Structure 1
Amino acid sequence: MTPAEYDYLRQFLKARSGLVLSNEKQYLIESRLLPVARKAGLQSIAALVAKLKEPRETILAEAVVEAMTTNESFFFRDKTPFEHFTQVMLPEMLKARAQQKRIRIWCAAASTGQEPYTLAMCLKEMESKLAGWRIEILGTDISNEVLDRAKAGTYTQFEVQRGLPIQLLLKYFTQHGESWTISQNLRSMIQWRKFNLLDSFQTLGQFDIVFCRNVLIYFDQPTKTDILARISKIMTPDGFLVLGAAETVVGLSDSFKPMTDRRGLYMPNLAASASAQPPRLSMVAGAGRTF
């Protein structure tokens, strides 16, 4: 791969997905995109680049973005965010939403679905406290491939052994040979949607809780700032934002403030956003679960 070809692919990926690759990531592009090229009948990265430059070459472009943005996920990843979910966020929401009895949750960059399904299991374990409540979970990702896997809810033995307690595996999954499928009851709790974080958030509606973990690290600073600003506009004033362990709003956004002693958990900074007064958004009803 020539420097010019690598530079083109870097610019292409940043424009299409926000992904920023350093000068040292050429090996990553070659290892992930050579299979894409060969599947398309192309013999080299050079041929792939030439094909991408053709007008209206959308199918190959999507395949390239999917190959470069597919990231791993696993159940109860990092544990702490889910402890915050059950011990901090939900108790606060149960008090604040006692009249409406409705909560909307967005899992951005949901990948193969482990994060939304983990939240669904947490909710099921608390269902005695949620009688009559409507809980909606929206899981989005830029990749059709990982969303198809998420919708199916089927995981390998290796995947269910990564972070998933055995009692929850036996309670919510059915084994089929070497794979495990999560129950239809939990699958029905989640709405899946292909979505690019560079696109407008206005069609998503308003959320009480947003999980946007381990995705901002792939963007440059202006893109991070832009995404955080747009998230703040679709969150309820008393909502919660959850970022990954290596991510922060510090130096990027005044729209959120960290919760004391709650690593990775943020709330809207009402003082900073008071003058902005964003337009009121509808909740946008979607697939959800009434307990």
Structure 2
Amino acid sequence: MPETTTTTSPICAENYRFLKEYVYRESGIVLDDDKHYLLEARLLPIVQQSHLASLDALCTALRNHGDPPLHKRVVEAMTTHETLFFRDIAPFDALKTEILPPLIEQRKTTRKLTFWSAAASSGQEAYSLGMLLLEMGLSGWNIQILGTDLSDQILARAREGRYLQIEVNRGLPANYLLKHFERRGLDWQIKDHLRNMVRFEQFDLRKSMRTKGPFDIIFCRNVLIYFDVETKKKILQELRGALFPGGYLILGGSESTLNLDNEFRRVPAGRTVFYQAP
């Protein structure tokens, strides 16, 4: 079969509008009119792997609805976000020094704590939380950490718990690496004592969260920025309902509940802000 030559010519305006609507319909993510570069960066590899001629040809294939795996790959490409161990360290510092100590005191009878990394991506956030809790001496507790994401492909990586050298170089303290990882060829594998603390499953944040939780603390960082106002409000309402009374929501540094959900109480903690459920 002759090889298809992929071109990198700009996508036409009509097809850009189609992809914007497609991504919004399938994931809820809103793409601004100036995000052509993001579409190209995320989707050109799929164009090449699928032996299509261009992004416009990809749009034609999506319109024909004849290739379910292709649709899934496009959605996963557009919803996978960069993450790293102990990203934006301030929330982890505040958890360790201000939020968790009184919570641990409250739970010293049941010795159980529940956490949710709601946009887990390849797992670094959930595993970072697990390492923090182990370093705080909670190895004998019933610690339940749930990590969810829309992408099955990225969750497979999270479950495997195997990371490149460059990934563990970004944000992970050397003593944590030596204690909680083991070398596997050129990569680093999370040890079972940490990997067994975290459970990963596929979940769409636009869906009802009534079957989730309740949780003591929910991480939902750098996700709301991609949704429109009404979707943000719905997600925040669902997250609030998934927390224990008095539980905490952690958002990204540029995110807030302001004008979206007035039920949360803003709680300054260290160099960051937590949002406490009533």
Q: TM-score, normalised by structure 1?
A: 0.87
Q: Which residue of 1 aligns with 2:81?
A: 71
What is the 5 A alignment of 1:1-291? 1-55=11-65, 57-127=67-137, 129=138, 131=140, 133-262=141-270, 263-268=272-277, 270=278
CA distance in 1, matches of 2:132, 2:120: 16
TM superposition outliers: structure 1 runs of 4+ over 3 Å? none
Which deviations, in whole Å up to 9, do the C-alpha atoms of 1:79-133 show, x marking residues without a partner?
A: 1111122222322222322333221100011111111111111111122x563x2
SS at structure 2 position matched to 1:260: strand
Which deviations, in whole Å up to 9, do the C-alpha atoms of 1:24-47 show, x marking residues without a partner?
A: 111221232122123223222222
Residue identity matched to 1:44: S
Q: How many residues align?
A: 267
CA contact (8 A) 1:247 1:264 kept: no
Residue identity matched to 1:167: N
CA contact (8 A) 1:17 1:65 kept: yes
Residue identity matched to 2:249: L
Cα root mean square deviation, aligned: 1.6
Q: TM-score, normalised by structure 2?
A: 0.91
Which deviations, in whole Å up to 9, do the C-alpha atoms of 1:160-182 show, x marking residues without a partner?
A: 11111111111111122321111
SS at structure 2 position matched to 1:202: coil
SS at structure 1 position matched to 2:43: helix
Which structure 1 segments of 5+ residues have no match? 271-291
Q: Which residue of 1 aligns with 2:6?
A: none
CA contact (8 A) 1:244 1:264 kept: no
Residue identity matched to 1:187: R
CA distance in 2, matches of 1:178, 1:164: 17
Residue identity matched to 2:64: E
Report deviation, 1:51: 1.8
Report deviation, 1:261: 4.5
CA distance in 2, matches of 1:6, 1:37: 15
SS at structure 2 position matched to 1:208: strand
Distance 1:56 1:100, change over 3 A: farther
Distance 1:242 1:174, change over 3 A: same
CA contact (8 A) 2:183 2:189 kept: yes
CA distance in 2, matches of 1:130, 1:153: 19
Distance 1:264 1:57, change over 3 A: farther
SS at structure 1 position matched to 2:170: coil
CA distance in 2, matches of 1:35, 1:53: 19
CA contact (8 A) 2:44 2:55 kept: yes
Which structure 2 segments of 5+ residues have no match? 1-10
CA distance in 1, matches of 2:232, 2:263: 13
Report deviation, 1:199: 1.6
